[in-house]
Chain A
Amino acid sequence: MKRSRERAASELFAALYPRLAGWCRRLVDDDGTAHEIASEAFTRLWARWTAVEEPRGFLYVTAANLVRDHWRKLERERRAVRQATAEAAVAPPHEPADPSVRMLVQSLPERLRVPILLHYYADMPIREVSVLTGRKEGTVKADLHAARELLRVHLRRSVDHTP
């Protein structure tokens, strides 16, 4: 039984890790951080005593929270550097390859971010998102609609500011 469980874990890792780490890479600055976040998400999945019914959703939600923590930590460090050097603005050392994805994660509130991640990035149907988040399907649809409208506003602003 242990062997079959080990085989199942190995197959899950082979199937999900590359895409999860690739998604993390679009949000953080380097491969190393992306691997750290993806690995931590899998560690938390397998450190649980009870089995997770939907591991894919669990992994993406966990990774999204870790990415958010990573960005908060970077922002605190930048603020500290700004205060220490009394500079008005400090250019970030690296810009992510896809700023729109970062904007997606940073701009949306938690309630709207999770359904977007699960539905569009983890390719989950609304029914599965509803089960995983514990919200009704109608509520999930409304959240996705609100999130898209919010992103449209942000996109329009970024386009207007672009020289």
Chain B
Amino acid sequence: MTTRLDDDQEPGRDDDPLLVVLRPDAGYLSPPPGRYEAVRRAASRRRLLRAAAGTAAVAAGAALLVLPFPWSAAEPPARPAVPLAPAPDPPAPVPRSATPVPAEPTPSASPAAVPSPVVPPTEVP
């Protein structure tokens, strides 16, 4: 069984002491002079402060998105270089002169007949 909760109608309960608590005589307290204007000014100041705080928060958030930061522009790590095949052996150094080594003069040759070295022709760049 559900208890009916007819809260608005309470017939025959005028002597209920609880209603004395719940429906006390209305007390009135008139506002002091100038109270209305003071409240309106305070409310206006609070609205302005909230608007300024909201604008500052939005600006800070936008700055975080736009401005570059060191940790956001980090360079990608250097990829390890693929080891290349070993370099081929360098060519054998070219002798500085192509002059054939003169043959040893034979003992039988005349002293005057000394062979002159052959000078290779120079390349013209």
Contact = CB atoms under 8 A, between A and B. Distances in A.
Contacts of B36: 10, 13, 17
Given A10-B36, A116-B22, A151-B21, A22 B7 contact: no
A64 B44 CA distance: 23
Contacts of B43: 42-47
Given A43-B43, A43-B46, A151-B21, A35 B35 contact: yes
Interface string A69-108: 0000000000000000000000000000010110110000
Interface in B1-46: 3, 5, 7-8, 17-18, 20-24, 26-32, 35-36, 38-40, 42-44, 46
A24 B28 CA distance: 10
Contacts of A152: 18
B79 interface: no
Contact of B47 (A25, A38, A49): A49
A119 B7 CA distance: 10
B33 to A, nearest CB: 12
A2 B9 CA distance: 43
A39 interface: yes
B18 A31 contact: no
Contacts of A113: none
Interface centre among B3, B39, B50 (most CB of A within 10 A): B39
Contacts of A155: 17-18, 21
Contacts of B39: 13, 39, 42-43, 46
B27 A25 contact: yes
B27 A22 contact: yes
Interface residues of B, number: 29
A151 B18 contact: yes
Nearest to A9: B40
B40 A142 contact: no
B68 to A, nearest CB: 35
B51 to A, nearest CB: 8
Contact of B24 (A17, A47, A101, A151): A101
Given A25-B29, A43-B42, A151 B5 contact: no
Contacts of A148: 18, 22
Interface of A: 9-10, 13, 17-19, 21-26, 31, 34-35, 38-39, 42-47, 49, 98, 100-101, 103-104, 116, 119-120, 125-126, 138, 141-142, 144-145, 148, 151-152, 155
Given A9-B40, A120-B23, 4 more contacts: A10-B36, A100-B21, A141-B7, A151-B21
11 contacts: A17-B35, A18-B29, A35-B32, A38-B29, A46-B40, A49-B50, A103-B21, A144-B7, A148-B18, A151-B18, A155-B21
